[in-house]
C-alpha cells in the first residue's frame, strides 16, 4: 500500500547493500574506478574496488540473523522465518530455545505464512527474484507442497476458514489492476474461486465468521479512506459493516470470538488509531483501548474473548498491553526488548500470546507470553554474529523545530528523530537516514549497518520522521500530500539547522540517504541543500513523479496518485515535473550512489537509470549498483552484502574527503 522502504529499513524489511579514505596514500581505492564490471547478477558502474581492510571490519556486521514469528502450528509449535543460507525460509520451533527445523528450501525468500486454526499444514507466499508477483503455496505438513496460484499476478493476505480446508486471499488475476478476493479449497485441488471483485477496486480478506458463512473484507482506497464489508461466502453478496459508511482510515479488523461483533483499528474518533468493538446488527460501537496521543498498531483477541492484546506505537517505540476483560486488569509483560513488537497471535487455547520483538541492540526474536502466569518466554535466540552487543549504540529520541508553526501560537512545529551517537570525541560526520513510504515511520530496530556507520566509521546517524510520516495523527500524515510535497523537504532543511548547532557534529561533513520515497527525499535534499551536504545514497528511489506514476505496477497507480497527485491533470503534472529530481539533476554536484533492482514493480529501474544518465550528463559523479535478480530492495544475502560493501566504501569516502572535494 505504501512505498515502504528507508535505506536502513530496506536492508531488513525487504533488505539491501568499497573504498578507503581518499587521503590514505597509495590506497587501492585511489585507483580509477572500473567503468563497468559484473559479478554474477550484480552490475557495478564507476564503483571503485573494495578496500580489503574496510571490508574486514564490515564483515563482522554482516553475519547476524533474525527470527520472525508468523503463526502457531496445530501441535502448539511455532512457525517462524529465519535465514540460514542466502534467504529467509520457514522453520518450525517446537519448544522454547529449541532447534529450528527448516521447512522450505527456496532461492527466493518466503514473504508470509499462515496456519489454519484446525487441521494441519500451512500456506505461504513467495515471489520470483523480487518481482512481488507472489504465488500462494500449500504445505501439507510433510513433503507435499502444492502451488495454488499461477501467472504473473500478485497474491497476498491469506486467511484460513475455521474448517481448516478453505483459505481466502487477494489476487489481481482478473484484470491485473484490481485486488479481488478468492477462496481456495486446499483439500480438493480445484482452482481458486472469485468471491469479491469488480471494477478497479482494492479488496483484502481479513477474517472468517465463527460459522465460516461470512468473510470480513476491507475495501482500501488510501491510508486515510477505507470501508469494511461482510461478504456472504455462498453468494458473494456484500453488506456494509456500518449503516452509514464514512471515510475513515482503517488499519485492520477481525471478528470477535462470538462471530457477531467486529474489532476495528481506525481513526474515526480523532487523530489517532484506536481499537473499537462494533456490532453490525445494532451498529453500536465502544472503545476497547483508552484514548491516547498515539496509534494502536496491532492487536489480537483470545479464542474465548477474555484477553485482548494490543501494541501502541509510542513515538516509534512499541508498548504491549494485555487486557483481562474478565478481571478488569491491564497486564504489561516485562522483559521484551525496548524497540519494535509485532505479529501478535494467541494460540488455540487463548492463554499463550506469541510475537516478534527487536531493538536497536538486539536482533528480532520470538517470544511467548503465558497470560495466566504472567510469564514471558523467549523461544528463539538469534545470533548477532561476532558482535559484542554491549558495544552497540542505543538511539536517543530528540525533537527539533521546523520552519513552520504547529497551530499553537508562537510555537514552531516540532518533529521527532532518532539519533545514534558515536563514542568518539570531537566533531563527527553525520548521515541523515530518511524513511520511505512516505506513509511510514522511522522506528529503531535491529540494523547492523547503522551500527557499523556509528562504531566503525564514526558517523552520527540521524533518522527523522518528517511531515507525512505515520504515527503522529492523520492531520500530520496529510501535511505532505500533493502540492505540499516540498514541505517535507523543508523539514530536512530545518534538521540541517539543528545539526549545525550540535557541538558533537561536524556540519561540514553531512550526508543524506534513503530508500524508495526516502530515495526521492535524499535526491531532493541534495538539490535543495547541496551546499550543506557532502553526498548521498539513493536506494530504489523516485526520480520523476510523472514517469513513476506512469510506469509503476498498474495495481499500485491509483493508490499512489492519492498520495502524490494525479499526473493526468495538467497543472499537477507541471508541478510534479518541476519538483522532480530528474528535472533538477544538473544541480546534484556532490557524489551520489544509486542502487536499483531490475524486477522492481514499485519504483521501476527506469527511475534510477534516467537519473544516473542525467546526473552524469551534467558532469556529476554517480556510483551505480544494479541487481538483475532483485526488486524493491536487496533481500538475498550475497546481494545485500555487496550493497553494504559499496555503501560502506562510499560513506567512508564522504567522511574522509576534504570540504573542497
**pLDDT tens digit string along 364-419?**
999 999 999 999 999 999 999 999 999 999 999 999 999 998 766 778 899 999 99
What's this model's pTM, rounded to 2 decimal places?
0.92
Rounded CA separation 621/593 (Å): 9
Q: Cβ(178)–Cβ(199) under 8 Å?
A: yes
271 Cα distance to chain centroid:
22
Q: Cβ(560)–Cβ(528) under 8 Å?
A: no
- Looking at residue 85, its pLDDT comes to 86
User: Which is it for the CA torsion 520, 526, 532, 533, positive or negative?
Assistant: positive
For residue 24, give the H/E element and its range.
Answer: none
Query: Quick check: bond before 438 cis, omega within 30?
Result: yes
Res 142 pLDDT > 90: no
Give the CA distances from residue 240 to residues 231, 244, 249, 251, in Å, rounded to whole numbers and listed in that order: 9, 8, 16, 17
Q: Cβ(155)–Cβ(134) under 8 Å?
A: yes
Please give the grid coordinates belonging to residue 361: 541492540
Res. 244 pLDDT band, cuts 50 70 90: confident
Number of Cβ within a 10 Å radius of residue 136: 26
Measured between its terminal Cα atoms, the distance across the chain in Å is: 40
Res. 657 pLDDT band, cuts 50 70 90: very low
Per the DSSP assignment, residues forming a β-bridge with 405 are 412
Q: Cβ(53)–Cβ(20) under 8 Å?
A: yes
Burial class (CB in 10 A: 0-12, 13-18, 19+), 184: buried
Rounded CA separation 29/61 (Å): 21
Please give the grid coordinates belonging to residue 238: 456484500
Res 250 pLDDT > 50: yes
| For residues 603-618, average pLDDT | 97
Rounded CA separation 509/513 (Å): 14
Among 202, 169, 171, 203, smallest CA distance to 186 is for 169
- Looking at residue 30, its pLDDT comes to 44
Q: Cβ(562)–Cβ(92) under 8 Å?
A: no
Per the DSSP assignment, residues forming a β-bridge with 170 are 156, 181
Greater pLDDT, 148 or 259: 148
Res. 319 pLDDT band, cuts 50 70 90: very high
Number of Cβ within a 10 Å radius of residue 531: 7
Q: What percent of the chain has pLDDT over 90?
A: 86
Q: Cβ(354)–Cβ(366) under 8 Å?
A: yes
Give Cβ neighbours of residue 531 (< 8 Å, ≥ 6 apart): none
Residue located via cell numbers 536517543: 396
Res 5 pLDDT > 60: no
Res. 245 pLDDT band, cuts 50 70 90: confident
Number of Cβ within a 10 Å radius of residue 476: 19
User: Which is it for the CA torsion 433, 437, 441, 447, positive or negative?
Assistant: negative
In this structure, what are the phi and psi dihedrals at residue 192, rounded to the nearest 5 degrees?
A: -60, 145
Give Cβ neighbours of residue 237 (< 8 Å, ≥ 6 apart): 231
Rounded CA separation 648/638 (Å): 15
Res 552 pLDDT > 80: yes
- Looking at residue 32, its pLDDT comes to 62
- Looking at residue 626, its pLDDT comes to 96
3-class SS of residue 35: coil
Q: Cβ(382)–Cβ(100) under 8 Å?
A: no
In the chain, how many H helices and how many E strands?
Answer: 11, 38
Please give the grid coordinates belonging to residue 263: 474489532
Res. 143 pLDDT band, cuts 50 70 90: confident
Name the CA dihedral angle for 566, 617, 533, 595, rounded to a multiple of 10 degrees.
70
Q: What is residue 566's DSSP assignment?
A: -
Q: What is the mean pLDDT of the chain?
A: 92
Rounded CA separation 18/647 (Å): 7
Res 23 pLDDT > 80: no
Res 166 pLDDT > 80: yes
Give Cβ neighbours of residue 455 (< 8 Å, ≥ 6 apart): 391, 392, 393, 422, 423
Q: Cβ(436)–Cβ(563) under 8 Å?
A: no
Give the CA distances from residue 73 to residues 78, 82, 118, in Å, rounded to whole numbers and listed in that order: 6, 16, 9
Res 7 pLDDT > 50: no
Res 350 pLDDT > 90: yes
**Secondary-structure breakdown of the chain: helix, strand, coil percentages, each rounded to the nearest 5:** 20, 35, 45
- Looking at residue 407, its pLDDT comes to 67
3-class SS of residue 202: strand
Give the CA distances from residue 169 to residues 183, 185, 193, 234, 251, in Å, rounded to whole numbers and listed in that order: 7, 12, 10, 16, 17
Per the document, the length of the chain is 661
Q: What beta strand segments (E) does 267-334 contain?
A: 274-278, 285-287, 295-301, 307-314, 317-324, 329-331
| For residues 57-81, average pLDDT | 96
- The predicted-structure confidence for 74-129, as pLDDT tens digits, reads as follows 999 999 999 998 899 999 999 999 999 999 999 999 989 999 988 889 999 999 99
Q: What beta strand segments (E) does 379-427 contain?
A: 396-405, 412-420
- Looking at residue 66, its pLDDT comes to 96
- Looking at residue 476, its pLDDT comes to 95
User: Which is it for the CA torsion 543, 546, 547, 550, positive or negative?
Assistant: positive
Give Cβ neighbours of residue 253 (< 8 Å, ≥ 6 apart): 206, 207, 216, 218, 228, 262, 263, 264, 265
| For residues 639-650, average pLDDT | 96
Res 2 pLDDT > 70: no
Q: In what order do the strands lie in the sheet with 166-171?
A: 155-160, 166-171, 180-185, 193-196
Please give the grid coordinates belonging to residue 214: 461470512
Number of Cβ within a 10 Å radius of residue 84: 12
Q: What beta strand segments (E) does 411-504 contain?
A: 412-420, 428-434, 460-464
Give Cβ neighbours of residue 328 (< 8 Å, ≥ 6 apart): none
Rounded CA separation 4/13 (Å): 9
Q: Cβ(308)–Cβ(325) under 8 Å?
A: yes
Number of Cβ within a 10 Å radius of residue 483: 13
- Looking at residue 1, its pLDDT comes to 47
- The predicted-structure confidence for 624-641, as pLDDT tens digits, reads as follows 999 999 999 999 999 999
Rounded CA separation 69/1 (Å): 22
Domains and CATH numbers, the chain: 7-63+394-656 (3.40.50.1820)
Amino acid at each position: 500500500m505504501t512505498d515502504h522502504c528507508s535505506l536502513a529499513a530496506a536492508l531488513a524489511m525487504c533488505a539491501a547493500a568499497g573504498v578507503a579514505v581518499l587521503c590514505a596514500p597509495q590506497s587501492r581505492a585511489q585507483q580509477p574506478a572500473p567503468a563497468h564490471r559484473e559479478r554474477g547478477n550484480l552490475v557495478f558502474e564507476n564503483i571503485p574496488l573494495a578496500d580489503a581492510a574496510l571490508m574486514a571490519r564490515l564483515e563482522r556486521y554482516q553475519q547476524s540473523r533474525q527470527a520472525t514469528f508468523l503463526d502457531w502450528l496445530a501441535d502448539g509449535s511455532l512457525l517462524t522465518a529465519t535465514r540460514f543460507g542466502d534467504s529467509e525460509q520457514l522453520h518450525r520451533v517446537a519448544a522454547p530455545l529449541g532447534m529450528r527445523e527448516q521447512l522450505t528450501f527456496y532461492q527466493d525468500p518466503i514473504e508470509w505464512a499462515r496456519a489454519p486454526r484446525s487441521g494441519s499444514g500451512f500456506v505461504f507466499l513467495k515471489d520470483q527474484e523480487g518481482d512481488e508477483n507472489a504465488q500462494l503455496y500449500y504445505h501439507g505438513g510433510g513433503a507435499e507442497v502444492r502451488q495454488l496460484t499461477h501467472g504473473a499476478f500478485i497474491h497476498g493476505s491469506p486467511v484460513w476458514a475455521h474448517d481448516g480446508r478453505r483459505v481466502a486471499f487477494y489476487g489481481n488475476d482478473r484484470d491485473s489492476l484490481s485486488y479481488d478476493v478468492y477462496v481456495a479449497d486446499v483439500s480438493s485441488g480445484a482452482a481458486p474461486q472469485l468471491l469479491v471483485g469488480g471494477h478497479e477496486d482494492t479488496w483484502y480478506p481479513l477474517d472468517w465468521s465463527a460459522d465460516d458463512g461470512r468473510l470480513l473484507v476491507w475495501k482500501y482506497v488510501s491510508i486515510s479512506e477505507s470501508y469494511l464489508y461482510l461478504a456472504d461466502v455462498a453468494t458473494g453478496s456484500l453488506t456494509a459493516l456500518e449503516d452509514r459508511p464514512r471515510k475513515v482510515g482503517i488499519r485492520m479488523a477481525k471478528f470477535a470470538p462470538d462471530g457477531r461483533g467486529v474489532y476495528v483499528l481506525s481513526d474515526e474518533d480523532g487523530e489517532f488509531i484506536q481499537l473499537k468493538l462494533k456490532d453490525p446488527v445494532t451498529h453500536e460501537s465502544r472503545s476497547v483501548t483508552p484514548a491516547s496521543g498515539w496509534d494502536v498498531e496491532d492487536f489480537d483477541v483470545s479464542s474465548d474473548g477474555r484477553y485482548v492484546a494490543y501494541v501502541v506505537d509510542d513515538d516509534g517505540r512499541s508498548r504491549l498491553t494485555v487486557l483481562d476483560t474478565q478481571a478488569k486488569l491491564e497486564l504489561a509483560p516485562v522483559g521484551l526488548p525496548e524497540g519494535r513488537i509485532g505479529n501478535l497471535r494467541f494460540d488455540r487455547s487463548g492463554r499463550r500470546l506469541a510475537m516478534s520483538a527487536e531493538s536497536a541492540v538486539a536482533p528480532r526474536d520470538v517470544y511467548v507470553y503465558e497470560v495466566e502466569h504472567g510469564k514471558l518466554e523467549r523461544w528463539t535466540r538469534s545470533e548477532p554474529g561476532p558482535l559484542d552487543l554491549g558495544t552497540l549504540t542505543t538511539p536517543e529520541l530528540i525533537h527539533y523545530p521546523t520552519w513552520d508553526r504547529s497551530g499553537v501560537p508562537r510555537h514552531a512545529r516540532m518533529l521527532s528523530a532518532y539519533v545514534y551517537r558515536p563514542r568518539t570525541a570531537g566533531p563527527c560526520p553525520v548521515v541523515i537516514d530518511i524513511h520511505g513510504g512516505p506513509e511510514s515511520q522511522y522506528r529503531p530496530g535491529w540494523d547492523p549497518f547503522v551500527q557499523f556507520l556509528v562504531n566503525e566509521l564514526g558517523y552520527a546517524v540521524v533518522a527523522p520522521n518528517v511531515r507525512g510520516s505515520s504515527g503522529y495523527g492523520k492531520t500530520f500524515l496529510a501535511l505532505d500530500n500533493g502540492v505540499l510535497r516540498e514541505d517535507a523537504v523543508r523539514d530536512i532543511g530545518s534538521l540541517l539547522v539543528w545539526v549545525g548547532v550540535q557541538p558533537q557534529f561536524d556540519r561540514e561533513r553531512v550526508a543524506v540517504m534513503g530508500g524508495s520515497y526516502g530515495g526521492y527525499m535524499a535526491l531532493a535534499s541534495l538539490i535543495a541543500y547541496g551546499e550543506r551536504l557532502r553526498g548521498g545514497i539513493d536506494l530504489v528511489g523516485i526520480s520523476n513523479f510523472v514517469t513513476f506514476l506512469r510506469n509503476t505496477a498498474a495495481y499500485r497507480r491509483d493508490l499512489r496518485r492519492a498520495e502524490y497527485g494525479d499526473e493526468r491533470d495538467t497543472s499537477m503534472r507541471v508541478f510534479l515535473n518541476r519538483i522532480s529530481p530528474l528535472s533538477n539533476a544538473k544541480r546534484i554536484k556532490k557524489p551520489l550512489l544509486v542502487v536499483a533492482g531490475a524486477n522492481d514493480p514499485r519504483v521501476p529501474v527506469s527511475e534510477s537509470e534516467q537519473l544516473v544518465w542525467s546526473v552524469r550528463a551534467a558532469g556529476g559523479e554517480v556510483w551505480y549498483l544494479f541487481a538483475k535478480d532483485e526488486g524493491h530492495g536487496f533481500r538475498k544475502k550475497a546481494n545485500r552484502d555487496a550493497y553494504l560493501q559499496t555503501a560502506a566504501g562510499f560513506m567512508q569516502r564522504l567522511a574522509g574527503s576534504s570540504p573542497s572535494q
